[in-house]
């Protein structure tokens, strides 16, 4: 490894850093002003690339000039900026005051909708863009050839940083953005129409994402997977840099670019893990990131968010629960094979969703990466069976242990944070787990996963296995429900509602939350193990972001204020998915739209809607 | 009544389950300074926040310049000519003094001379020397001057001023009193929340006394000073 090689390696790290920064700066600006972490930022990036591969070739037809290339890039970015405006007007405007979890879910709904829209418009095949005229050659640097376009990108990042600095310090719009980042309510009290400010910010943020995407087209082809792969990286950059800090995002992007450029030489398989480790370390040392500031207290949503006072089951509820259990047990007797399969899956997801609800609803710990523990449980069982020939029974016992162990490990870092930072860190850990399962092909089978995760001979029949799942899921749910009603559960609720107060009366909040996180991880791991044997295989979708979102949608659907809502939500969600998914080519679009509708119309879930209808009916005679 | 700038009727408000205001009524006339006096927790700040639209009113009405502004968004109320200086000051700490003033800037009504940073620096000379300084590096008194100056940049007809003398050194308190009188001179009506009777007596024409979310006394400042019983009952001396 000579100096020239190292230099070129470092330069390519800088080029990636530039791109990453341009995208991340948009996310961090939008977060600073609106306090919303916009999942759809990755979709804007993807749309920027798709726009560019459409617009730029068309312009280059007219004349192959470098200028037209960049005009095309800017047009693409501006179109995406307008889409950002549309998103603000139609969606964000309605959710500024709702809890973070709902905001994240709603913007993820947009991600799903855009994915299907992109597939519909541009088709499933990746589209390779044109290269930039005038920048197609290589440049000789210390005996190594280095693409001129990459050199251009290296300059683009600092140029955007400079332009943003001027905008932020030399224009009224920029000064207002900076003021609103600290205290948007006060900005309103001074006569500034926040709505305009927010719309403008969304334009800028989406423009930057679109610009980042459009500038990528000579390097990577536009594909429908770009959104989720970039969004995790961008989350990491903004979190390390400090949410809301543009300069911080630049520093973090450079740091990560270099880490990846050199990490790939040392540990080619686990560069992603290195990046996430960096993030975990930064967050533990500086919980608000390198240049971030603590969340301003003013303007935070204070809706009751979670289970308030758990009541025990009254008689009708006891009957309902007994009926539900009876129904779950009766399916193999009366139902056909398909019904048994669906019932088995509903039970699995009920346990997984309930374990997440235990964290979110009862503990206020909004995990956005709960699929990690589910998936790790599945992989633990699956790998034992396939790679080591371990029989089902012990392998199934290992699943909750693996889920709990990783939950303990990750939770150690997670419980040090709160709010949106906590959600982002859980997501980051889940992506580490995903990356390892995805990249470590020799062991995990990579993208394809592994087949042959079958139950022991006595349990191979769907019917018998259904009873195993029923036993595991019901036992898990009953156990966690017990914990919710026990003093430990009340302590978690106290910590959720006011960590400082709980600390003051001598509760060790972190230890309690870590224990809660570990329990939830264990239950999710068990669900994952049960799921692996029911499918006979494992694959990385089991711990991918969409799986985490499915779990969140389940608890949202059930209502996060009711204890058993998650179980109902899991059943309803899975049933809906099973019925509608085969019927439509636009399942994701439908799911995304439903999540958004749920957030806008029934923020308290089906359970909550039911409860409020009942309350209204009960209040009616009093009013008459 | 054209000389009434602000009229509050039967205003009720609170935080979550806690009811704080119970039917507060008061008026502010053109060009006058009125003091809203009361102990800690009496509901002074809550009254001002509710008038400004920062807290939703649960009952009652607020009229500004003849218009019913009940339930309006704060930015619309500000644009109609009401300025608000919060008790916690809420300076934008990442911004410089000049930038803080820029955030507050709004055009003056036609025919009226607009406030400029220069005019404000004449009232608050300390600020003039620190235009480029970040607000986070300012003393409490300097921040208090800045928050008033920032509100005046919006060229309001009336200002809600929440405890401008709180926690400040006597010299600065005097400067605040001068500033309030200067606003009055410019024809701006001021509704001032205060615990400090001396400060209120120095600047206010009329006084309201609030206790547990209701107005218990209203009258001229002189009448309040003369009424020993009211002062004993509702104001800490
Ligand atoms: N954000 C809040 N949430 C809940 N209760 C509040 C809040 N702010 C004030 N209160 C309560 O409302 C009541 C009135 O408070 P307010 O701030 O209006 O009093 P004040 O007269 O301005 O007192 P001070 O002189 O201390 O500023 C108090 O009992 C207070 O505890
Ligand atoms: Mg007060």
Residue B57 CA to ligand 1 centre (angstroms):
15
Mean pLDDT of chain B: 93
Q: What is the pLDDT of residue A619?
A: 56
B44: closest CA among B165, B143, B157? B165
Alpha-carbon distance of B212 to A127, in angstroms, equals: 69
Count of alpha carbons within 13 angstroms of residue B37, beta-carbon side: 33
Instruction: Kindly determine whether residue A178 and residue B92, on different chains, have CB atoms separated by under 8 Å.
Output: yes
Could you tell me how many residues make up chain B?
237
Helices marked H in A216-359 = 226-241, 246-266, 271-285, 315-334, 337-357
Count CA atoms within 13 Å of residue A485 on its CB side: 12
Among B21, B35, B41, residue to substitute to test ligand 1 (most atoms within 8 Å of Cβ): B41
What is the arithmetic mean of pLDDT over A329-346? 88
For the cut 50, the answer to whether the pLDDT of residue A299 exceeds it is no
Q: What is the pLDDT of residues B107-122, one digit of tens each?
A: 998 888 899 999 999 9
Contacts of B94 in chain A (CB under 8 A): 178, 181-182
Partner residue facing A191 (CB), from B95, B99, B154: B154
- Residues of A near B (CB-CB distance < 8 A)? 172, 175-176, 178-179, 181-183, 185-194, 298, 302
Query: A83, A14, A71, A18: which is closest to A47 by C-alpha?
Result: A83
Please, how many CA atoms are within 13 Å of residue A120, restricted to the half-sphere of its CB?
Answer: 12
pLDDT tens for each residue of A65-124: 889 999 999 999 999 999 999 999 999 999 988 878 888 889 999 999 999 999 999 999
Q: List B residues 1-30 in contact with A (Cβ-Cβ < 8 A).
A: 16
Q: What percentage of chain A carries pLDDT values higher than 90? A: 55
Measured distance CA(A363)–CA(A540) in Å, rounded: 28
- For residue A268, tell me if it sits in a domain: no
Determine the average pLDDT of the residues in A371-392: 96
Nearest CA-CA partner of A468 in A382, A520, A393: A393
Tell me which residue range forms the domain holding A91: 3-230
Does A188 fall in a domain? Answer: yes
Per-residue confidence (pLDDT) for residue A305, from 0 to 100: 62
State the Cα–Cα distance between residues A616 and A612, nearest whole angstrom: 6
Distance B80 CA to ligand 2 centre (A): 24
pLDDT tops 80 at residue A145: yes
Do A468 and A599 lie in one domain? The reply is yes
Residue A130 belongs to some domain of the structure: yes
Q: What's residue B237's pLDDT?
A: 57
Average pLDDT, stretch A504-510? Answer: 80
Distance, in Å, from the CA atom of A448 to the CA atom of A123, rounded to the nearest integer, reads 23
Distance CA A11, CA A258 (A): 9
* Per-residue pLDDT at A302 exceeds 60: no
CB contact under 8 A, B75 and A192: yes
pLDDT in tens, B141-197: 999 999 999 999 999 999 999 999 988 999 999 999 999 999 999 999 999 999 989
Residue A262 lies inside a defined structural domain of this protein: no
| A244 assigned to some structural domain | no
Rg (C-alpha) for chain A, rounded Å, is 25
Indicate the pLDDT class of residue A169, thresholds 50, 70 and 90: very high
Q: Chain A residue closest to B149 (CA)?
A: A190
More confident residue, A140 or A14: A14
Q: Which of A205, A230, A255 is the last residue of a domain?
A: A230
CA distances from B147 to B83, B89, B127, B137, B164 (A): 11, 6, 11, 14, 10
Per residue in A569-594, pLDDT tens? 899 898 888 888 888 888 889 989 98
Per-window interface: B 92-121 vs A, CB < 8 A: 92-95, 99-100, 102-104, 106
Whole-Å CA distances, A238 to A234, A424, A425: 6, 10, 12
Reported confidence tier of residue A504, pLDDT bands at 50, 70, 90: confident
Average model confidence (pLDDT) across chain A: 88
Rounded to whole angstroms, how far apart are CA atoms B53 and B72? 6
Let me know: does A76 contact A214? Beta carbons within 8 Å. yes
How do residues B184-205 score in pLDDT, each as one tens digit?
Answer: 999 999 999 999 899 999 999 9
Same domain for A322 and A207: no
**Nearest ligand to the C-alpha atom of residue B162:** 2
Q: What is the pLDDT of residue A331?
A: 84
Check if the beta carbon of residue B100 is closer than 8 Å to that of residue B153.
Answer: no
- Write the pLDDT tens digit of every residue in A420-479: 888 888 988 898 899 889 888 889 998 899 999 999 889 888 889 999 999 999 999 999
A43-78: b or e for each residue (b if 16 or more CB lie within 10 Å)?
A: bbbbbbbbbbbbbbeebbeeeeeeebbbebbbbbbb
For residue A215, which of A21, A27, A34 has the smallest C-alpha distance? A21
| Counted domains in chain A | 2
- Among A141-145, B56-60, B68-72, the range scoring the smallest mean pLDDT is A141-145
Q: How far is the CA of B163 from the centre of ligand 2 (A)?
A: 7
**Do the chains contact at A188 and B74, CB–CB below 8 Å?**
yes
Angle at B135 between CA B146 and CA B45, to 5 degrees: 50
CA B143 – ligand 1 centroid, Å:
22
Judged by CB atoms closer than 8 Å, whether chains meet at B103 and A194 is answered as no
With beta carbons less than 8 A apart as the criterion, state whether A424 and A262 touch: no
**N residues, chain A:** 624
Average pLDDT over residues B66-77: 95
Residue A99: predicted pLDDT: 79
**Ligand 1, atom 26: closest residue by C-alpha:** B40
Average pLDDT over residues A565-572: 88
Q: Which of A191, A192, A303 to mutate to test the interface with B (most CBs of B within 10 A)?
A: A191
What local confidence, expressed as pLDDT, does residue B2 receive? 61
For residue A511, what pLDDT band results from cuts at 50, 70 and 90? Answer: very high
The domain segmentation of chain B, as residue ranges, is 4-234
| Best residue among B11, B15, B37, B163 to mutate for probing ligand 1, ranked by most atoms within 8 Å of CB | B15
Those residues with Cβ within 8 angstroms of residue A581's Cβ, 6 or more apart along the chain or in another chain: A587
Q: What is the pLDDT of residue A152?
A: 94
Report the nearest-CA residue for atom 19 of ligand 1.
B41
Split at pLDDT 50, 70, 90, the class of B1 is very low
Q: Which ligand is nearest to the CA of B234?
A: 1
Whether ipTM tops 0.90, in short, is yes
Per-residue pLDDT reduced to its tens digit, A544-558: 989 999 999 898 888
Residue with the larger pLDDT of the pair B17 and A284: B17
CATH classification for the domain delimited by B4-234, as one of 3.50.50.60, 3.40.50.620, 3.40.50.300, 3.90.1300.10:
3.40.50.300
Helices vs strands, H then E, count in chain A: 26, 4
The predicted model gives A403-427 an average pLDDT of 89
Q: Which of A177-186, A253-262, A298-307 is predicted least confidently?
A: A298-307
User: CA of A520, closest CA in chain B: separation in Å?
Assistant: 32
Size of interface A-B (CB pairs under 8 A): 59
CATH code, A401: 1.10.3470
Domain final residue pick, A178, A206, A230 = A230
> If you measure CA to CA, which chain A residue comes closest to B160?
A189
pLDDT tens profile A179-238: 998 898 999 999 999 889 999 999 999 999 999 999 999 999 999 989 988 988 898 899
CB contact under 8 A, B99 and A189: no
User: In this complex, do B90 and A178 lie within 8 Å of one another by their Cβ atoms?
Assistant: no
B150 interfaces chain A, CB cutoff of 8 Å: yes
A482-491 tens-digit pLDDT: 999 999 998 8
For residue A622, pLDDT over 90 is answered with: no
Nearest to B103 among A176, A193, A298 (CB): A176
Q: How confident is the model at residue A178 (pLDDT cuts 50, 70, 90)?
A: very high
> Is residue A389 left, alpha or beta, with left meaning phi > 0 and alpha meaning psi from -120 to 50?
left
pLDDT score recorded for residue A301: 41
pLDDT tens digits, residue range A108-120? 999 999 999 999 9
Determine whether the shortest distance from the Cβ of B195 to ligand 1 is under 6 A: yes
Q: What is the pTM of this model?
A: 0.87
Tell me what pLDDT residue A110 has. 96
* pLDDT for residue A300: 42
Listed by number, the residues of chain B in 166-185 with a beta carbon closer than 8 Å to a beta carbon of chain A are none
Which pLDDT score is estimated for B118? Answer: 93
Using the beta-carbon criterion (under 8 Å), do A185 and B86 form an inter-chain contact?
no
Q: Is the pLDDT of residue A499 over 80?
A: no
DSSP code, position A88: I
pLDDT at B89 over 50: yes
**Contact criterion met (CB below 8 Å) for A198 and A90:** no
pLDDT number for residue A617: 63
Query: What percentage of residues in chain B have a pLDDT greater than 70?
Result: 99
The rounded percent of chain A whose pLDDT value lies above 70 is 94
Domain membership of residue A297 (yes or no) is: no
Q: How far apart are CA B95 and CA A190, in angstroms?
A: 15
The verdict on a CB contact (< 8 Å) between A190 and B16 is: no
Whether residue B93 and residue A192 make contact (CB cut-off 8 A), yes or no, is: no
Q: How far apart are CA A406 and CA A399, in angstroms?
A: 11
At A439 the pLDDT is: 83
Beta-carbon contacts of residue A576 (< 8 Å; ≥ 6 apart)? A594
Q: Which of A82, A83, A94, A107 is nearest to A31 (CA)?
A: A107
* A350, A485: one domain: yes
Q: Is ligand 1 within 6 A of the CB of residue B42?
A: yes
Q: Of A230, A264, A295, which one is at a domain's C-terminal end?
A: A230
């Amino acid at each position: 490894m000579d100096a020239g090689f190292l230099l070129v390696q470092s330069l390519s790290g800088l080029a990636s850093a530039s791109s990453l920064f341009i995208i991340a700066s948009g996310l961090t600006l939008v977060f600073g002003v609106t306090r919303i972490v916009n999942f759809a930022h990755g979709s804007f990036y993807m749309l920027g690339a798709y726009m560019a591969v459409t617009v730029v070739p068309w312009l280059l037809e007219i004349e192959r000039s470098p200028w037209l290339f960049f005009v095309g890039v800017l047009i693409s970015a501006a179109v995406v900026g307008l889409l950002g405006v549309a998103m603000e007007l139609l969606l964000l405007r309605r959710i500024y005051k709702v809890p973070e979890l709902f905001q994240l879910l709603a913007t993820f709904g947009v991600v799903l909708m855009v994915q299907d829209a992109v597939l519909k418009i541009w088709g499933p095949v990746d589209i390779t863009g044109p290269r930039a005229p005038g920048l197609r050659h290589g440049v000789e640097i210390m005996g190594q050839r280095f693409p001129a376009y990459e050199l251009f990108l290296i300059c683009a990042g600092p140029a955007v940083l400079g332009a943003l600095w001027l905008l932020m310090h030399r224009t009224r719009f920029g000064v207002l953005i900076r003021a609103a980042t600290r205290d948007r309510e006060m900005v309103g009290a001074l006569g500034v129409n926040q709505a305009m400010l927010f719309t403008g910010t969304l334009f800028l943020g989406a423009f930057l994402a679109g610009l980042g995407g459009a500038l990528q087209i000579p390097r990577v082809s536009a594909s429908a997977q770009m959104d989720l792969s970039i969004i995790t990286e961008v989350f990491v950059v903004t979190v390390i840099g400090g949410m809301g800090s543009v300069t911080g995002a630049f520093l973090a992007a450079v740091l990560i670019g270099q880490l990846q450029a050199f990490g790939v030489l040392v540990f080619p398989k686990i560069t992603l893990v290195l990046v996430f480790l960096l993030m975990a370390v930064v967050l533990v040392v500086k919980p608000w990131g390198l240049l971030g500031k603590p969340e301003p207290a003013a303007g935070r949503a204070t809706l009751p968010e979670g289970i308030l006072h758990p009541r025990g089951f009254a008689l009708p509820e006891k009957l309902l629960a007994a009926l539900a259990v009876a129904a779950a047990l009766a399916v193999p007797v009366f139902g056909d094979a398909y019904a048994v399969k669906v019932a088995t899956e509903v039970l699995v997801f009920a346990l997984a969703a309930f374990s997440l609800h235990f964290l979110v609803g009862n503990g206020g710990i909004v995990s956005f990466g709960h699929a990690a523990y589910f998936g790790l449980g599945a992989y633990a069982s699956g790998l034992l069976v396939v790679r080591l020939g371990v029989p089902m029974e012990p392998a199934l016992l290992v699943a909750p242990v693996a889920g709990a162990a990783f939950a303990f490990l990750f939770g150690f870092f997670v419980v040090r944070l709160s709010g949106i930072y906590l959600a982002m860190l859980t997501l980051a850990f889940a992506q580490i787990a995903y990356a390892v399962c995805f990249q470590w092909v020799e062991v995990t089978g990579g993208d394809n996963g592994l087949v042959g995760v079958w139950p022991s001979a006595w349990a191979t029949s769907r019917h018998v296995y259904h009873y195993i799942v029923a036993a595991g899921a019901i036992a898990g749910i009953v156990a966690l429900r017990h914990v919710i009603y026990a003093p430990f559960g009340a302590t978690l609720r106290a910590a959720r509602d006011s960590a400082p107060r709980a600390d003051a009366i001598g509760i060790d909040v972190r230890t309690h939350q870590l224990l809660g996180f570990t329990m939830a991880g264990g239950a999710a791991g068990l669900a994952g193990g049960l799921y692996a044997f029911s499918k006979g295989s494992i694959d990385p979708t089991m711990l991918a972001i969409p799986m985490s979102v499915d779990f969140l949608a389940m608890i949202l659907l059930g209502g996060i204020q009711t204890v058993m809502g998650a179980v109902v939500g899991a059943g309803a969600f899975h049933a809906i998915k099973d019925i509608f998914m085969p019927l439509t080519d636009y399942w994701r679009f439908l799911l995304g739209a439903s999540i958004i509708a749920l957030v806008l119309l029934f923020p308290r879930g089906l359970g909550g809607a039911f409860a409020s209808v009942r309350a209204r009916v009960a209040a009616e005679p009093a009013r008459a | 009544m054209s000389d009434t700038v602000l009229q509050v009727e039967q205003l009720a408000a609170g935080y979550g389950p806690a009811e704080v205001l119970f039917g507060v009524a008061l008026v502010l006339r053109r060009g006058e300074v009125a003091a809203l006096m009361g102990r800690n927790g009496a509901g002074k700040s809550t009254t001002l926040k509710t008038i400004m639209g920062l807290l939703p009113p649960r009952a009652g009405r607020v009229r500004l310049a003849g218009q019913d502004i009940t339930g309006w968004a704060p930015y619309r109320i500000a644009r109609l000519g009401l300025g608000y200086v919060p008790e916690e000051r809420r300076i934008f700490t990442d911004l410089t003094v000049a930038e803080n003033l820029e955030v507050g800037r709004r055009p003056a009504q036609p025919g009226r001379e607009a406030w400029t940073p220069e005019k404000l620096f004449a009232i608050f000379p300390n600020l003039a020397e620190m235009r480029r300084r970040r607000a986070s590096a300012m003393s409490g008194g300097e921040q208090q001057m800045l928050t008033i100056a920032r509100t005046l940049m919006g060229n309001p007809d009336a200002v809600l001023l929440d405890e401008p003398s709180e926690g400040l050194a006597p010299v600065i308190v005097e400067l605040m009193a001068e500033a309030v009188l200067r606003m009055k001179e410019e024809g701006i009506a001021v509704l001032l929340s205060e615990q400090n009777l001396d400060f209120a007596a120095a600047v206010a024409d009329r006084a309201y006394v609030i206790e547990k979310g209701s107005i218990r006394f209203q009258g001229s400042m002189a009448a309040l000073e003369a009424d020993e019983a009211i002062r004993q009952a509702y104001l800490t001396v």
